[in-house]
C-alpha cells in the first residue's frame, strides 16, 4: 500500500491520507469543497461540487488514473434537495462512463460543507 499526497488537492484535515493505492486500485479519501490552499468554496452546491470533483481529479491524476477509471462513487449530501443540482455537475465529469454510485443525506459534514465525495478507481 502507498499513501497519496498531491499539492493539487487540499491536505487532509485529520489523521488520514488523500488516498491510498492498494494493488491496482485507488481509494480516495472523502473530499469536501476546499481549495488546495485549504479555503472553503462558496457558491452553493454547484460551486462546492465542482471543487470536490477538481480535488478528486487531482488525487486520481497524481496516480495516472482519472474519471474514466472510476468504478465506485459515494456521495454524501447535507440536503437531498440538492440531488438534481449535484447530478448536473456530476454529469459533466462523467458524460459517458457511469460508475456505480451511492448517495446519502447526512446530518453534517466537516467545516459546514454541503457535499463530500469519495471514489474507488483503477490505476
Q: What is the pLDDT of residues 85-109, one digit of tens each?
A: 999 999 999 999 999 999 999 999 9
- pLDDT tens digits, 112-122: 999 999 999 99
pLDDT at 40: 96
- Please report, for the chain, the start and end positions of each structural domain, with discontinuous segments joined by +: 2-122
Residue 28 belongs to what H/E stretch? strand 25-28
Query: Cα(113)–Cα(110) distance, rounded to whole angstroms?
Result: 6
pTM: 0.96
CATH superfamily for 2-122 is: RutC-like (3.30.1330.40)
Over range 50-60, report the average pLDDT.
Answer: 98
Q: What is the DSSP string of 77-112?
A: ES-GGGHHHHHHHHHHH-SS---EEEEEE-S--GGG
Amino acid at each position: 500500500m502507498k499513501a497519496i499526497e498531491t499539492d493539487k488537492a487540499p491536505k487532509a484535515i485529520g489523521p488520514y491520507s488523500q488516498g491510498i493505492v492498494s494493488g491496482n486500485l485507488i481509494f480516495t479519501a472523502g473530499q469536501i469543497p476546499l481549495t488546495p490552499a485549504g479555503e472553503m468554496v462558496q457558491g452553493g452546491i454547484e460551486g462546492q461540487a465542482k471543487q470536490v470533483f477538481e480535488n478528486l481529479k487531482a488525487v486520481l491524476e497524481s496516480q495516472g488514473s482519472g474519471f474514466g477509471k472510476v468504478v465506485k462513487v459515494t456521495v454524501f449530501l447535507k440536503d437531498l434537495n440538492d440531488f438534481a443540482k449535484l447530478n448536473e455537475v456530476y454529469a459533466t465529469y462523467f458524460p459517458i462512463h457511469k460508475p456505480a454510485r451511492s448517495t446519502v443525506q447526512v446530518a453534517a459534514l466537516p467545516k459546514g460543507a454541503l457535499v463530500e465525495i469519495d471514489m474507488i478507481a483503477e490505476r
